[in-house]
Amino acid sequence: MFSEYGLVMGFFPHIIELMNTHALIEGERVAKRTAFELTALASLKLVAGLLTGMTVVIADAISSFTDILGIFASYIGLHLSRRTSSKNFEYGYYRIETFAALLVSLGIITLGVLIIWKGIGTFYITDEGHFRPFAVTTTLLSIFHSTRLYKRLHETAKKTNSPSLKANADDKKNDIVVGIAILIAIAADYREIPYVEGIITLLIAIFILKDGIINAKESLFYLLDYWDDPTLTRQIRKIFHQERELITVVKHLRLRRAGNFIFGEAYVEINPFAGIQDLREELDLVSEKIKKLNPYIRDFSIFSHISKAGRIKVGIPVKSNHGLLSPIAHTLRQTNAYLFADLDDTKVRKFYVRKLSASNKKPLNFANFLKKEKVNILIDNNLHSLIYFNLRRIHHILIYPQFADTKRVKEALELMLIDT
């Protein structure tokens, strides 16, 4: 069973990597297809703008041509993100996609500023537009097409975890609002209502500018290794908390975005009584659990530190209660009670005795009995293998051998003070 589980866990990262690669290829395909469609649409808008002479339609055409550059940047970023690490780029090319998203956002900001400038310049112009039915038809076609592109880019951005495709999807959502505003401007032009075209042009520019600034800020923060995902952070901490018998403290937890992928690391304090084999296997399992939270977690490193225990709690099986002079029980059958002692570096700070009933000698009850006392070290009394495995491998309780020359609790504690 364990070998089969290990085989599945071994193949899991390769399966995830293969899925990510397919998602990136799908993202490239969508970006390429979108670029061709936007080229045709932008050309149609430009013709409509030149024929009508309306600034707001020309501004919308310029916006679409800028979108083509953004989609092309996304395509290049997604394509380069699939390249493996090299001698000069040992951490891979993932940030290229984030950089592409930044370029898209800067282009959107530039467009917003240009349209504001153009809108101010034509604010008081009330020239009558021409070929307005053609402009209306083109705008309606643009709204319909922008809706389709938004859905397609939004879904692909979710699949690929691509910030640049997300930026482009947001831009298409803006285009829907812009199209509706253009229809209002054309209607106002029909009725020769002044200022409406100029006002709508300025509103469109501000809307575009706001979106560009938000996306540029997000991309820049990604490049500077700033990223905050409270939900994912809580989920990771929950996984660590489930391993609290092994991982006592999570000192630092860091996540960062690099293009489509997420990288993380954690610095943890380890139970000083856990075995090396337990540590190696369980930390690997914890890492794999974390990677399953999000398919775009490319790597998650766990750095462990085993600190020295300040105080140690020892459990010693005894035949009868005579304090520190209690005789040590050699078998579980002989054990009528346990003496629990708190030790520090130099002395026994305190001790007490708990009776062990017949029902508590059963494997599960026995483990719960000791777990309740929060014992760290246990003197062996010829434990059954199942009980030993439960205590040592699951609860990380260190099992000490029972030496032939230690007959009383006091002698065993003196030996432990030397050894620990």
Residue 271's domain is classified under what CATH number?
3.30.70.1350
- Give yes or no: residues 180 and 278 share one domain: no
Q: Which of 261, 279, 306 is the last residue of a domain?
A: 306
Beta pairing partners, 351: 341
Within 10 Å of residue 223's Cβ, how many Cβ atoms? 15
With the C-alpha atoms ordered 339, 342, 343, 349, is the resulting torsion angle positive or negative? negative
pLDDT at residue 1, as a whole number: 41
pTM for the model stands at: 0.55
Which residues are registered as beta bridge partners of 257?
A: 262
Q: In this prediction, what percent of the chain has a pLDDT beyond 90? A: 11
Question: Based on the domain organization, do 6 and 135 belong to the same domain?
Answer: yes
Q: Do 285 and 347 lie in a common domain?
A: no
Q: Where among 223, 239, 267 does a domain terminate?
A: 223
What's the confidence (pLDDT) of residue 3? 42
- Output phi, psi for 86, to 5 deg: -135, -175
pLDDT at residue 83 in the model: 66
- Per-residue pLDDT tens over the stretch 318-355: 999 999 999 999 988 899 999 999 988 778 889 999 99
How high is the pLDDT of residue 82? 65
The pair phi, psi for residue 376, each rounded to 5°, is: -100, -40
Predicted pLDDT of residue 283:
84
What letter represents residue 398's amino acid?
Answer: L
State yes or no: pLDDT of 259 exceeds 50.
Answer: yes
Which phi and psi angles does 324 have, rounded to 5°? -70, -10
The CA distance from 140 to 146, in Å, is 10
With tokens 């820049």, the residue in question is: 220
- Same domain for 195 and 248, yes or no, is no
- Say if CB 69 and CB 99 are below 8 A apart: no
More confident residue, 281 or 146: 146
Of 191 and 334, the structure prediction assigns the larger pLDDT to: 334
Q: Which of 250, 276, 306 is the last residue of a domain?
A: 306
Residue 380: which CATH number?
3.30.420.130
- Do 262 and 373 lie in one domain? The reply is no
Q: Cβ(141)–Cβ(178) under 8 Å? A: no
When pLDDT is cut at 50, 70 and 90, the band that residue 4 belongs to is very low
On whether the CB atoms of residues 388 and 311 are closer than 8 A, the answer is no
Distances, alpha carbon 394 to alpha carbons 146, 166, 255, 356, in Å: 57, 45, 29, 21
Question: Based on the domain organization, do 40 and 84 belong to the same domain?
Answer: yes
pLDDT recorded at residue 237: 92
pLDDT value for 338: 94
Check if the beta carbon of residue 24 is closer than 8 Å to that of residue 74: no
Same domain, 63 and 205: yes
Q: What is the average pLDDT across 256-283?
A: 79
Asked if residue 106 lies in contact with residue 217, where contact means CB atoms within 8 angstroms, the answer is no
Same domain? For 52 and 121 the reply is yes
Predicted local confidence at residue 339, as pLDDT: 95
Q: 207-216, 362-371, 376-385, 407-416: which has the minimum mean pLDDT?
A: 207-216
Instruction: Kindly state the DSSP code that residue 259 receives in the 8-state scheme.
Output: T
Residue 184 has pLDDT above 50, yes or no: yes
Is residue 196 classed as helix, strand or coil in its secondary structure?
helix
User: What does pLDDT average to over the chain?
Assistant: 78
Domain span at 346: 312-419
Structural domain tally of the chain? 3
Q: Same structural domain for residues 289 and 393? A: no
Selected residue with higher pLDDT from 303 and 2: 303
* Residue 317 reports pLDDT greater than 60: yes
| Type and span of the H or E element at 285 | helix 276-293
Asked if residue 357 and residue 385 are part of one domain, the reply reads yes
Contact 69, 203 (CB under 8 A): no
pLDDT tens figures, 51-72: 877 777 777 787 777 777 778 7
Summarised one tens digit per residue, pLDDT across range 167-176 is 778 878 878 8
Q: What percent of the chain has pLDDT over 70?
A: 81
Task: Please write the tens of the pLDDT for every residue from 153-166.
Answer: 888 887 777 776 77
CA atoms of 402 and 174, how far apart (whole Å): 75
Q: How far apart are CA 266 and CA 251, in angstroms?
A: 7
pLDDT in tens, 132-144: 788 888 888 888 8
Report d(CA 401, CA 368) in Å as an integer. 21
Residues 94 and 210 in one domain: yes
Query: Which among 304-308, 318-322, 368-372 has the top mean pLDDT?
Result: 318-322
Residue 14, pLDDT above cutoff 60: no
Looking at residue 196, its pLDDT comes to: 73
Residues 44 and 157 reside in one and the same domain:
yes
Report which of 185, 174, 208, 144 is spatially closest to residue 55, judged by C-alpha positions: 185
CATH code of 179's domain: 1.20.1510.10
pLDDT in tens, 205-228: 787 787 778 778 877 777 776 777
What are the structure tokens assigned to 291, written together? 């990677």
**pLDDT exceeds cutoff 70 at 182:** yes
> What letter would DSSP give residue 228?
-
What value does the mean pLDDT take over residues 251-257?
Answer: 85
For 287, left (φ over 0), alpha (ψ -120 to 50), or beta?
alpha
In terms of Cα–Cα distance, which of 51, 195, 55, 205 is closest to 137?
Answer: 51
